[in-house]
Structure 1
């Protein structure tokens, strides 16, 4: 592990190390409410839409009271559409509003509203795919952020995070990346790498500062 890589990793955490959950106002911990909110955020981020728009839409849903699967399922379709629109999530708002309602009903029915039960029931990588609106990208987003809570998935750096690693000259190996930061900082490093993958200017700033 080179001093240069260590410097780049520290700079990534300093400049881009806010997790997407934190940006959306989620106080992430291994509890039903925050895990469900992370699921909603992963759903929104997995669409072909700007990440800041997805984060704003998640905040709007939560501010409108839809912070747990029971309240999401009880909210009518139009209320979900309106909240998504308030966050600027208009391109996919009608379909997403339907999917969010169906997903909430499944989480309530299968897991009693608690995704920790999903973790105990089987492989979350597979079971997450059974939730409406959660495809491979949604699974990656959820587990990138949840790896600090569910350590059996750490280190979790998906393809997008590894693209970011390449952009700033870090190794494209999850194990090598994990060796650059403390275990509790893995979600922050993953988020930072995704940001530099998405934004070339952010990658240039990291390289210049490191």
Structure 2
């Protein structure tokens, strides 16, 4: 498969960001979508499948927890029920507790507004990663997930691709460096491309593109 055809196929079949699936319009750069994306990054960091993490993040929105303030009003029992219903049967209680510390830090350090973290980072990727990892439950993987998705609104971090995306890019014969990979698509399509690569990895669908 030609490189251009491969890119087209990836975008057509898998090119949907996880923020878009969540219903969080990151390009608007408003507090609620950014908060919901960070929650998804936290939930995806737990030892559960990606689709369960997405269901949990969507369930949070259905429960009305779309801002730090609304989440802070929830009870532990309510959170356990929501996470358990989304499939977090073994880690529901831990997550219900952990997300409170996570949320408290967001409110105390940034007034519940992640745009203040953006300003604090000043376009420095390493500073942004360190700030994200100060949130309870967010490690290297969670920080990378957030940055991969948020570049759709925070252009200073473009082009960013996490390890999962670059590993799949290499397997498919595409550049395994974010800067080189970004040259294959328009800037607006790059977040979709890296998300598509991650989706191919999660689905185990690499064979659809290899040796064709």
Q: Shorter-chain TM-score: which interval?
A: over 0.9
Q: Which residue of 2 aligns with 1:94?
A: 93
Q: Which residue of 2 aligns with 1:149?
A: 153
Gaps of 5+ in 2: 122-126
Query: Would you say how many aligned residue pairs link Structure 1 and Structure 2?
Result: 206
Query: 1:104-143: CA deviations, max 9, x gaps?
Result: 1111111111000111123221111111111110000000
Q: Residues of 1 paired with 2:104 and 2:92: CA distance?
A: 18
Q: Which residue of 2 aligns with 1:71?
A: 70
1:43-192 alignment, distance < 5 Å = 43-122=42-121, 123-192=127-196
Matched, 1:22 2:26: no
RMSD: 1.6
What is the Cα deviation at residue 91 of structure 1? Answer: 2.3
SS of the residue corresponding to residue 106 of structure 1 reads helix
Correspondent of 1:204 among 199, 202, 207: 207
Q: Residues of 2 paired with 1:47 and 1:9: CA distance?
A: 30
What is the Cα deviation at residue 187 of structure 1? Answer: 1.2
State the TM-score, normalized to the length of structure 1: 0.92
Q: Residues of 1 paired with 2:46 and 2:167: CA distance?
A: 18
Q: Which residue of 1 aligns with 2:41?
A: 42
Correspondent of 1:10 among 8, 11, 18: 8
Q: Residues of 2 paired with 1:90 and 1:167: CA distance?
A: 34
